[in-house]
Structure 1
Amino acid sequence: MLNIRGFARDGIATTSLAIGVLFGTAGLPHILMRFLTVRDERAARLSVFYATCLIGLFFIMLLPIGFGSISLLRDASRHLAPDGSVLGGTNMVAIHLAEIVGGSALMGFVTAVAFATILAVVCGLLIAGASAATNDLIAGLRGRPLDERSKLITVRFTAAILGVIAVVLAIAFEGQNVAYLIAMATSIAASANFPLLILAIYWPRLSTAGALAGGAFGLLSSVTLTVMGPTVWTKVLGLGLAPFPYDSPAILTVPAAFLVCFVVSILKRPVMDLASVDLVN
């Protein structure tokens, strides 16, 4: 019987993967940018609406593409290696499926769309990372905004550093399924960004200290547990049996990040100045 479970090996792993993909999409930097690069609230709502529709369409397409690949590729010998694996690796499944269904024309179209999508996502992440480092991290450490010339230099330098890091990580994860890389990114985003986004919208008592503590805890815990998971610890680093049994830690790190935001916000809330309050007898 064909095993299609991948790295979702049991109920807990599947639930953790679903939490990361579901909530992490809203926390991805190039999605959050849609709130900050628009003219007004109406444009923001339209931007988020279109993004949500496109993201939903993408996830719906996973069903026919996934099961179509299982049905058509397993008997297509010219797309399979002698050992039964897919030629070019599992990341080439959609390309092979496109050729089977629509010939060279559809395969070329899907390849072009995949390349354009990858380029757009990489550009969006570089812009988001460079902007955050310039306007938030460096300006926050300095205590004042950067001038235009310093901002431009910082953006270019940060983008170059992020590009080098991305290339190094791409080489290290070259043989991994792109589905795992997406799950890894969404799991980290769900842990670090999603709790802050939801609490900032729906819980007025969220404090700056709570947001910083929760975001930092979610980021560090999700990255640490991801590295300690089977794919990175065993397959990429080759360190033997993984200390953490699941590739996606979202089932633990997302609730923990919410809890840290809540507890720190309650403990660090501003103390009311009784002298400025009008007491009525």
Structure 2
Amino acid sequence: MTALAAGGLAASDPIVNTTVFALFVAITLYVVYRAGSRSSSTSDYYAASSAFTGRQNGIALSGDFLSAASFLGIAGAIAVHGYDGFLYSIGFLVAWLVDLLLIAELTRNTGRFTMGDVISFRMNPRPVRAAAATSTLVISFFYMLAQMAGAGGLVALLLDIHTRLGQALIIGVVGLVMVLYVLVGGMKGTTWVQIIKAGVLMLAVVLIAVFLFGKYGFSFSNLLSAATEKSPLGERLLEPGGSYGKDGTTKLDFVSLALALVLGLSSLPHLLMRFYTVPNSLEARRSVVWATVCMLIFYGCTLVIGFGAAALVGADEIKNAPGGENSAAPLLALHIGGTLLLGVIAAVAFATILAVVAGLTITASASFAHDVYANIFKRGKAEPADEVRVARLTAIVVGVLAIAGGVLANGQNVAFLVALAFAVAASANLSTLLYSLFWKRFNTTGTLWGMYGGLIACLLLVLFSPVVSGAPDAIFKSLDFAWFPLKNPGLVSIPFSFLCGFVGTLVGRPKADAEKQAEMEVRSMTGIGG
């Protein structure tokens, strides 16, 4: 098996991998076509006419959230770094509790289709919707960039294609299928893709985890012992500090990353939009509960898979394989199940990318069509058929930009792009959402200061951080213009966003429409009038 590290997954069969993936795409496209309505109503295209149950939407939420970084990245991080790798999973799980307690029900009661509906409810709608659309498009683009770039890396890893042209072609195929999902199915078809993908992903990780438990006598202690024996870290694999904690800066970096992960999830526009696919706030709460249960099972299985990869594959072979840490789960599949299981894992990985980028695409297109075109350009008087047509055209443009960006970013730091999306979401959106829902005095000035202040601060801090320059693993290794020491800006940019919203509210004119504020409070708490 050592040849795997030197020559890629040479024992795999690209034809098998491609066939399994193509079969998945064909089945899901058929489902999307059958499920997708040809209706031109905005409610059907954006929110599937709120026809999904809490259970269905919760499974779809987990499918929308679990990206390639969750499936491949966390398993690899656990295999190589041990304890510190699992900290990502803890952050994601806690984030769903924040979503359940503070965001899900109130957002469902207050909005109709997008996040802009919520924060513009009692504000001057045109500038606030413009800010919301800007934030949504920036977050969606960076998140999609990570997924599309990840597609290129997975090609080299799973299909044994190493040329830039070959990887670019695969990125183009992924983007094309993504746009087809959105154009043909709208939110209804995209939701069924998320549900199918979540089911396949959960089945794959559970079966692999059960196999690993069986191999070690259904004893987690035996599995951990085998992992520590093969890992260069030894017993330190099970202790904190394998990746973070080396000095004060890395400790702060972890706190900053954890803050972004925990608070960013509840502010991601493509997840917020999913709450409008259920009929009421009760089903919205059930959605989060079901999503949390799915996450708990998934991350519990990735813990087993990560330590199983450390025990059976070894950290050295993982780090030397194409894709580095991301190769842990595929290498483990090849070790225990051969080419066929690797083909299944390849299909699951690509399905993960397809489902996530489809959800991001429909969110970005809905935000532009609903917030910008219908409510800014047309001042709320757009015809539903015209709005849906603009959304579909926007989906095509977003798909082309995502393909181009994925080709350019192929080989770059994908984990940085994902973390940036979470940090931007928490910095730009969370303060305005919470202030809008819970602070009566909050006004339009505070909204704009909070959103733009957090967004600009986050992007500037990342630009001048070691992630971009001044570090061995920076994007621009030959340059050094970094002055911000942390790789994730959340520790600074998130509180700065709250401060900007607070100060902007004090210096801006008080909101005069007390009736609108009272209506929003009653609607958010009770759902009456929604």
Q: TM-score range by the shorter chain?
A: 0.7 to 0.9
Of residues 288, 291, 296, the one that matches 1:51 is: 291
Stretch deviating more after TM superposition (227-236 or 26-35): 227-236
- How far off its partner does 1:58 sit? 4.3
Counterpart of 2:434? 198
- Contact preservation (8 Å) 2:423, 2:458: yes
- Contact preservation (8 Å) 2:244, 2:250: no
Counterpart of 2:179? none
Stretch deviating more after TM superposition (184-193 or 90-99): 90-99
- 2:244 and 2:394 map into 1 onto residues whose CA distance is 35
Counterpart of 1:228? 464
- Contact preservation (8 Å) 1:135, 1:145: no
- How far off its partner does 1:11 sit? 0.5
Deviations 1:229-255 (A, max 9, x none): 333346334561233332211111111
Residues 249 and 219 (structure 1), Cα distance of their counterparts in 2 relative to 1, 3 Å cut? same
- Contact preservation (8 Å) 1:38, 1:44: yes
Question: Secondary structure at the residue paired with 2:277?
Answer: coil
1:129 aligns with 2:334: no
Counterpart of 2:254? 14
Of residues 335, 343, 355, the one that matches 1:120 is: 355
Residues 49 and 102 (structure 1), Cα distance of their counterparts in 2 relative to 1, 3 Å cut? same
Question: Secondary structure at the residue paired with 1:193?
Answer: helix
- 1:29-68 residue pairs with structure 2 within 5 A? 29-68=269-308
Question: Secondary structure at the residue paired with 1:255?
Answer: helix
- How far off its partner does 1:67 sit? 4.1
The amino acid of 2:465's aligned partner reads G
Stretch deviating more after TM superposition (7-16 or 218-227): 7-16
Root-mean-square deviation over aligned CA pairs: 3.0
Residues 150 and 75 (structure 1), Cα distance of their counterparts in 2 relative to 1, 3 Å cut? closer
- How far off its partner does 1:88 sit? 3.8
The normalised TM-score by structure 1 is: 0.81
Of residues 314, 332, 338, the one that matches 1:97 is: 332
Which has a greater percent of helix?
2
The amino acid of 1:150's aligned partner reads D
1:179 aligns with 2:418: no
Question: Secondary structure at the residue paired with 1:10?
Answer: helix
Counterpart of 2:373? 138
Residues 123 and 117 (structure 1), Cα distance of their counterparts in 2 relative to 1, 3 Å cut? same
Counterpart of 1:215? 451
- Contact preservation (8 Å) 1:126, 1:162: yes
- 1:149 and 1:30 map into 2 onto residues whose CA distance is 22
- How far off its partner does 1:28 sit? 1.4
Q: Paired residues, what number?
A: 268
The normalised TM-score by structure 2 is: 0.45
Counterpart of 2:387? 151
The amino acid of 2:497's aligned partner reads A
1:107 aligns with 2:336: no
Stretch deviating more after TM superposition (163-172 or 10-19): 163-172
- How far off its partner does 1:106 sit? 3.8
- 2:417 and 2:449 map into 1 onto residues whose CA distance is 26
Deviations 1:145-173 (A, max 9, x none): 42234313321232222223322332233
Question: Secondary structure at the residue paired with 2:320?
Answer: coil
Residues 56 and 207 (structure 1), Cα distance of their counterparts in 2 relative to 1, 3 Å cut? farther
1:264 aligns with 2:522: no
Of residues 79, 82, 87, the one that matches 2:322 is: 87
Structure 2, gaps ≥5 residues long: 1-231, 234-240, 514-530
- 1:50 and 1:222 map into 2 onto residues whose CA distance is 32
- Contact preservation (8 Å) 1:191, 1:250: yes
- How far off its partner does 1:133 sit? 0.8
- How far off its partner does 1:4 sit? 4.8
- How far off its partner does 1:47 sit? 1.9
Identical counterparts, % of pairs: 36
Residues 105 and 206 (structure 1), Cα distance of their counterparts in 2 relative to 1, 3 Å cut? farther
- Contact preservation (8 Å) 2:373, 2:387: no
- 1:158-173 residue pairs with structure 2 within 5 A? 158-173=394-409
1:5 aligns with 2:243: yes
- 1:6 and 1:161 map into 2 onto residues whose CA distance is 40
Deviations 1:18-73 (A, max 9, x none): 11111111111221012222212222222222233334444445544444444443
Residues 154 and 232 (structure 1), Cα distance of their counterparts in 2 relative to 1, 3 Å cut? farther
Structure 1, gaps ≥5 residues long: 274-281
- 1:30 and 1:55 map into 2 onto residues whose CA distance is 17
